[in-house]
């Protein structure tokens, strides 16, 4: 199992952003859209290479590139050339016109709200974090938090709110991206909230919302390890357990856009109470509130229930590292349940990669050698190696980058839609 560190976003001006898709896999999409998305993914690419990669004539690429340049979506840039290329006209490539649009991505969570502003090429301009007191919010309170966070990050980026072209917003829970509706969330008091429409009305800007685990998958798909993969899974372990799944280079949400809720598969009938209201869910044994609940009982820490969960978990982890058998057993039990969830993903989908993400992944007892051994016992034995598993212990800003990718994708679709 591989582990990565801080998760810095790549240099999009040089390497591009977005999924690196084989042209043959995209033959049904309009050529205009294929050209733009290939330019965005490449960062910089000559016209002749575009034509070669797409399998079309250079004349077709020249015509479409001229249209996209006139629309302000791409521009000609000076391309790097080899030292031995000789003299003559400087090499010219195509790149996304970064200055044409500004996009905000925000993630609301139980512990803090985070935001980034990126340009049209996906390059970071500014970010901000606002800590908060845990607990569900009323709708008005959430909209106030969104507006405050947006104004703060805009000030850092030295842009006006009206200079933005789109906003991506992520929350935990069951979210219908297409309808812009939050069916249930741990950070909202109410259910069935039309959050996208309410935020649009408050901010005066197009707003797209999604489940926060999907945002991490989008961040990996646009900026990280998933750019060249046709399918992969991301499991997030924080206050809850979430999952984002990419299939054929696209985020898969299910027929009603609320699928992939791995945290709510049942691992114990009539088991521990989950915050969703049902019993026996995976996250009721693996999420941070589950570990805190177990510690309060097993270690007789009832007097610590007034402490923030983060503080309690740090203490539990310190006890485990110091050799406390009970603390180690708590992590060991959670790790076994995590192996059940991982084996379910592998047996169902056979992804090319599984990424475990979230701040809690630095608690390595969750994915110790015993957990991986348990996983190997639960995965169907086909005689072939199981998918690799990587640990990306990133902070909440990655989620905000995923929200920006969500808005970038929606904005691109809107700008390139046939008129």
CA distances from 76 to 36, 44, 174, 250, 266 (A): 13, 9, 42, 28, 54
Residue 28, token pair as written in the block? 């049904």
Residue 98, token pair as written in the block? 């970064």
- What gap in Å lies between CA 213 and CA 264, rounded to an integer? 13
Contact by Cβ (8 Å): 171, 188: yes
Contact by Cβ (8 Å): 170, 215: yes
CA angle 205, 208, 211 (to 5 degrees): 145
- What gap in Å lies between CA 76 and CA 151, rounded to an integer? 33
Residue 209, token pair as written in the block? 């919302």
CA distances from 261 to 10, 209, 235, 258, 348 (A): 29, 17, 10, 7, 14
Beta strands 231-237; 354-357: pairing state? parallel
Q: In what order do the strands lie in the sheet with 250-252?
A: 2-4, 389-392, 354-357, 231-237, 241-247, 250-252
Query: Can you give 277-344 as a three-state secondary structure string?
Result: CCECECHHHHCHHHHHHHHHHHCCCHHHCCCCHHHHHHHHHHHHHCCCHHHHHHHHHHHHHHHHHHHH
Per-residue pLDDT of the chain (419 residues; tens, 9 = 90+): 655 544 444 455 457 899 888 765 555 788 999 999 999 999 999 999 999 999 999 999 999 999 999 999 999 998 766 554 555 566 789 999 999 999 999 999 888 899 999 999 999 999 999 998 888 999 999 999 999 999 999 999 999 999 999 999 999 999 999 999 999 998 999 999 999 999 999 999 999 999 999 999 999 999 999 999 999 999 998 888 999 999 999 999 988 888 899 999 999 999 999 988 899 999 999 998 899 888 888 887 866 666 778 788 888 888 888 888 998 899 889 999 999 999 999 999 999 999 998 766 666 666 677 888 889 999 999 989 999 999 887 666 889 999 999 999 999 999 998 76
pLDDT score at 365: 63
- The domain 229-393: what is its CATH number? 3.30.420.40
Question: Does 229-393 match 101-218+398-416 at the fold level?
Answer: yes
CA distances from 392 to 172, 218, 306, 364, 372 (A): 19, 14, 30, 12, 16
Beta bridge partner(s), residue 107: 114, 170
pLDDT score at 10: 46
Question: Class of 101-218+398-416 per CATH?
Answer: alpha beta
pLDDT score at 321: 85
Helices and strands (H, E) in the chain, number of each type: 13, 15
275 — phi, psi (to 5°)? Answer: -70, -15
- Rounded to a whole number of angstroms, the CA Rg of the chain reads 23
Query: Which of 382, 282, 264, 274 shows the shortest CA–CA distance to 340?
Result: 282
pLDDT score at 251: 94
pLDDT score at 360: 66
Contact by Cβ (8 Å): 390, 353: yes
Q: Write the DSSP assignment of 98-158 as a string of letters.
A: GGG-EEEEEEE-SSEEEEEEEETT--EEEEEEEE--SS-B-HHHHHHHHHHHHHHHHHHHT
Cα 209–chain centre separation: 12
- The domain 2-99: what is its CATH number? 1.10.10.10
Residue 56, token pair as written in the block? 């079309």
Q: Where are the domains of the chain?
A: 2-99, 101-218+398-416, 229-393
């Amino acid at each position: 199992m591989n582990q990565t560190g801080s998760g810095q976003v790549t240099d999009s001006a040089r390497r591009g952003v977005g999924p690196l898709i084989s042209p043959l896999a995209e033959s049904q999409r309009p050529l205009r859209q294929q050209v733009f998305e290939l330019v965005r993914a490449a960062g910089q690419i000559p016209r002749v290479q575009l034509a070669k990669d797409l399998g079309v004539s250079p004349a077709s690429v020249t015509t479409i590139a001229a249209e996209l340049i006139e629309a302000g979506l791409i521009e000609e840039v000076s391309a790097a050339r080899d030292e031995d290329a000789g003299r003559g006209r400087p090499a010219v490539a195509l790149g996304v016109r970064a200055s044409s649009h500004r996009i905000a991505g925000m993630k609301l969570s139980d512990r803090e709200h985070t935001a980034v502003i990126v340009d049209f090429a996906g390059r970071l301009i500014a970010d901000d974090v606002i800590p908060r007191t845990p607990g569900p919010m009323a709708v008005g309170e959430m909209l106030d938090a969104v507006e405050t966070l947006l104004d703060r990050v805009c000030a850092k980026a030295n842009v006006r709110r009206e200079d933005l072209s789109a906003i991506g917003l992520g929350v935990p829970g069951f979210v219908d991206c297409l309808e812009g509706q939050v069916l249930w969330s741990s950070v909202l008091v109410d259910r069935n909230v039309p959050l996208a429409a309410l935020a649009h009305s408050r901010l005066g800007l197009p707003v797209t919302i999604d489940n926060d685990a999907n945002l991490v998958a989008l961040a990996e798909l646009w900026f990280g390890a998933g750019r060249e993969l046709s399918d992969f899974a991301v499991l997030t372990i924080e206050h809850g357990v979430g999952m984002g799944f990419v299939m054929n280079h696209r985020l898969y949400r299910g027929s009603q856009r609320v699928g992939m809720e791995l945290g709510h598969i049942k691992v114990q009938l009539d088991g521990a109470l989950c915050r969703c209201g049902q019993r026996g869910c995976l996250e009721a044994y693996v999420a941070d509130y589950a570990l805190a609940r177990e510690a309060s009982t097993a270690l007789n820490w009832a007097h610590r229930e007034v402490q923030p969960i983060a503080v309690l978990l740090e203490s539990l982890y310190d006890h485990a590292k110091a050799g406390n058998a009970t603390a180690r057993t708590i992590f060991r039990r959670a790790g076994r349940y995590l192996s059940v969830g991982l084996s379910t993903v592998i047996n169902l989908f056979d992804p090319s990669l599984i990424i475990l993400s979230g701040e809690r992944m630095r608690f390595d007892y969750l994915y110790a050698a015993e957990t991986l051994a348990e996983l190997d016992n639960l995965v169907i034995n086909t005689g072939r190696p199981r998918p690799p598993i990587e640990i990306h212990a990133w902070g909440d800003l990655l989620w905000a980058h995923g929200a920006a990718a969500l808005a970038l994708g929606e904005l691109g679709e809107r700008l390139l839609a046939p008129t």
